[in-house]
Structure 1
Amino acid sequence: MNAPREIAVLIVEDEPITAEAHAEYVRRSDGFAVAGVAHSGAEAITFLNPSPGAAPRSPECPIDLVLLDMNLPDLHGLDVLRRIRGAGVPADVIAITAVRDLAVVRGAMSAGIVQYLIKPFTYSAFSAKLVSYREYHRNLAGQGTSATQSEVDRALAALRPAVPAALPKGLSPDTLNSVSEILKNASDPLSASEVSAALTMSRITVRRYLEHLEAQRAVVRSPRYGSPGRPELEYSWRR
């Protein structure tokens, strides 16, 4: 059985450094490939819907997914979205933007985006959106020309994963993500002191986040022996 084709992604972002960061995030995500980068709305529209006489892209590798910034130098992201929809381009769109205006969010949803990711964000937040989209895409990719109700429900559910429980008072989602990333990338278990040193935060504060992650069964807590006195606790991400 052949492996599924990688999901081809177009990144639409005017800031070159940010565009490259997003491209690197895509490359790190299993099942995705960067097909192109556009730094303006006009570039994105041309890439997705070449004008007559322009060199066509390979039909074997259409764009599956567009990562679209809303703040572009020539066009608003909503205008880009409406134009590519008007041209009949079937690519899915994830909005990646610092825009929090509810009117823009509603407009993007009405125009058919599949996800909305607000800057700034961590790689784990970005990855979670791509994983959800990948499941949605794969659930529908093999269904031929029709789908059953259960297949449609399963695909849509992939885009709307369960909302995590509210954090205890005093805990910040951004800090929780930072602590989580440290543990995910560590080759060995870390103590609260080691995590606090890496994040330049107090050990007591970091300990609260570690205990929360342990209560959520995201990390494994165990005693570290080998030093005088009471054993220090260490934490490792649950693989």
Structure 2
Amino acid sequence: MSPIAVLVVEDEAIAAAAHAELVQRLSGFTLVGVARSCADARRILRTSPADLLLLDMHLPDGHGLDLLAQLRLEGHGCDAVAVTSVRELDVVRRAVSQGVVSYLLKPFTFAGLRAKLEQYADYRARLSASGADVVQGEIDQLLGSLRTADEGAGLPKGMSPETLALVTAHLRGAGQARSASEVAAECGLSRVTARRYLEHLEASGVLERRPRYGGAGRPEVEYRWR
């Protein structure tokens, strides 16, 4: 089975680079390009067809779903995973009606995006293995492969997706490195709990960890959003 060709459509330079890096690291996927606008996406797809778009909603020259509709009119049958901070119900409904196969809210971890891509790969593999006609059970399995049964699945025992989202959003919006003690105080957590989530995010690749010098004694560890 040939690799799944992915086009990243994201206007934020850091996010676009991170998404592209993850795609390139994952077995079974290949990156066809990074588009920073609707016009970029259409230009790239003219010469480099994609199976899947990692699609932001807010683009400098239009809405992600309007781009998807235009691509459909132009004959592009690529699927899309929405990767966005947009939470409005009407946008989610439009996304579903336009064939968006998965929806991932920012902020998220690399592990969350990787899970969405792996679910899509499983869906494609099941689709390829199916015959021309399918029975109900096969349809259920196909659609089920695009869903996450437990949003906390994949997290270490004792960690919650809600607290992970809180710490992720805090670090992403901080604009500077923070220590476990600072995150604990600012998020209302114990220092031990804050450090555990910070180390999980560092292991996932979204934070960088380094020593903070300046005080007496051992240097404190600080974490910064990549």
Alignment partner, residue 7 of structure 1:
4
Structure 1 CA distance for aligned equivalents of residues 196 and 31 of structure 2 = 39
Structure 2 CA distance for aligned equivalents of residues 208 and 13 of structure 1 = 30
Alignment partner, residue 143 of structure 1:
130
What are the residue-to-residue correspondences of 1:25-174 with 2, within 5 Å? 25-48=22-45, 50=46, 56-57=47-48, 62-143=49-130, 145-164=132-151, 173=161
Task: Please report how far the alpha carbon of residue 207 of structure 1 lies from its aligned counterpart in structure 2 after TM superposition.
Answer: 9.6
1:12–1:39 contact (8 Å) kept in structure 2 = yes
Normalised TM-score (structure 1): 0.64
Residue deviations 1:60-94 (CA, integer Å, cap 9, x gap): xx411101110000011111011112223111100
Q: Could you say if the C-alpha distance between residues 197 and 15 of structure 1 is closer, same or farther in structure 2, counting changes exceeding 3 Å?
A: closer
1:140–1:152 contact (8 Å) kept in structure 2 = no
Task: Please report how far the alpha carbon of residue 42 of structure 1 lies from its aligned counterpart in structure 2 after TM superposition.
Answer: 1.5
Residue deviations 1:9-42 (CA, integer Å, cap 9, x gap): 0000112221111101212222111111111112
Residue deviations 1:42-70 (CA, integer Å, cap 9, x gap): 2212333x2xxxxx44xxxx411101110
Structure 2 CA distance for aligned equivalents of residues 207 and 41 of structure 1 = 40
Q: Could you say if the C-alpha distance between residues 99 and 165 of structure 1 is closer, same or farther in structure 2, counting changes exceeding 3 Å?
A: closer
1:42–1:75 contact (8 Å) kept in structure 2 = no
Instruction: Give the secondary-structure state (helix, strand or coil) at the position aligned to 1:132.
Output: helix
What amino acid sits opposite 1:8 in the alignment? A
Instruction: Give the secondary-structure state (helix, strand or coil) at the position aligned to 1:35.
Output: strand
Q: Could you say if the C-alpha distance between residues 100 and 141 of structure 1 is closer, same or farther in structure 2, counting changes exceeding 3 Å?
A: same
Q: Could you say if the C-alpha distance between residues 145 and 98 of structure 1 is closer, same or farther in structure 2, counting changes exceeding 3 Å?
A: same
2:152–2:160 contact (8 Å) kept in structure 1 = no
Task: Please report how far the alpha carbon of residue 148 of structure 1 lies from its aligned counterpart in structure 2 after TM superposition.
Answer: 3.7
Is 1:22 matched with 2:19?
Answer: yes
Instruction: Give the secondary-structure state (helix, strand or coil) at the position aligned to 1:153.
Output: helix
Structure 2 CA distance for aligned equivalents of residues 88 and 144 of structure 1 = 24
Contiguous gaps of at least 5 residues in structure 1: 51-55, 180-195, 210-239
Task: Please report how far the alpha carbon of residue 165 of structure 1 lies from its aligned counterpart in structure 2 after TM superposition.
Answer: 6.9
What is the total number of aligned residue pairs between the two structures?
178
How well do the aligned residues superpose, as a CA RMSD in angstroms?
3.2
